[in-house]
Amino acid sequence: MKQILMIEVSPRGPASGSRAAADRLAAHLIAAHPAARLIRRDLAASPLPHLDGATLGVIAARDPANPAPMTELARLSDELTDELLASDCLVIATPMWNFGIPSVLKAWIDLVVRPGLTFQYAGEGVLGLAQGKQAILLPASGGVFSEGPWRPWDFVEPYLKQVLGFIGISDVETIRIEGMNIPGLAEQAVPNAFAAIESLAA
Ligand SMILES: Cc1cc2nc3c(=O)[nH]c(=O)nc-3n(C[C@H](O)[C@H](O)[C@H](O)COP(=O)(O)O)c2cc1C
């Protein structure tokens, strides 16, 4: 493994379950792959802008002979996409907010799901171009979504798996930090995730 890309989203600093799990996973992966480069993109410390019209004009341009004027955000999109394509392992550590992902993570996704770079239409289907990578999801939630009545309300894991599959990443493992806001479960949420990380084949 040459490069690990870790996307961290929670603004809750040391109180964050997803960040605690990300720290533990980073240590676990680096112990197994000491020569790997670890890139940590902290979207709370450095939030990404939403896609704008001028940038869309650049990244969706269909005529290479007639390119739209480059924008700063298109340059950032190129950089984020290159970073993803150069990584063998992608880690997404994110809170569940209102049953889905925080909008800053959606902004990252909108900047890296790029026609011609991470996917392309092929016949009547689509071809993911970010193949050969592993992804590990670390979703933290107040409730429990791995089982029980709230399971259908989880739009974090199914969405992330859908969009990663679309760009060719189908080897996806999920370690949940769940029950963070439920007395009696909260105390075990992070230790349970740590135990799952330690038993992860790296
Ligand atoms: C704005 C907001 C929305 C939230 N929405 C949900 C939710 O829909 N379902 C849930 O189980 N927990 C929800 N929570 C609780 C968080 O998922 C929980 O605090 C989790 O630990 C956040 O991840 P973090 O610890 O990495 O910050 C929400 C918290 C906030 C601040």
Q: Tell me, in angstroms, the distance from the centre of ligand 1 to residue 140's CA.
A: 7
> Can you say whether the dihedral through the CA atoms of 3, 18, 42, 136 is positive or negative?
positive
Backbone dihedral region for residue 146 (phi beyond 0: left; psi -120 to 50: alpha; all else: beta): alpha
In single-letter form, the type of residue at position 81 comes to T
Which tens digits make up the pLDDT trace of 123-146? 889 999 999 999 999 999 999 999
User: Where residue 11 sits, what CATH number does that domain have?
Assistant: 3.40.50.360
- Once rounded to an integer, what is the mean pLDDT over residues 10-19? 98
Q: Is the confidence at residue 112, as pLDDT, over 90?
A: yes
Confidence band for 201, pLDDT divided at 50, 70 and 90: confident
Number of structural domains found in the chain: 1
Containing structural domain, residue 150: 3-198
Q: Where are the alpha helices (DSSP H) in 33-67?
A: 53-59
Q: Tell me, in angstroms, the distance from the centre of ligand 1 to residue 188's CA.
A: 16
pLDDT at residue 64 in the model: 74
Q: Is the confidence at residue 42, as pLDDT, over 80?
A: yes
Q: Which residue's CA is the nearest one to ligand 1's atom 20?
A: 141
In single-letter form, the type of residue at position 108 comes to W
pLDDT at residue 60 in the model: 85
**CB within 8 A of 63, min separation 6: which ones?**
none
Q: Is the confidence at residue 48, as pLDDT, over 80?
A: yes
Q: CB of 180 closer than 6 A to ligand 1?
A: yes
Q: Which of 9, 19, 96 to mutate to test the pocket of ligand 1 (most atoms within 8 A of CB)?
A: 96
Q: Are 17 and 177 in contact (CB under 8 A)?
A: yes
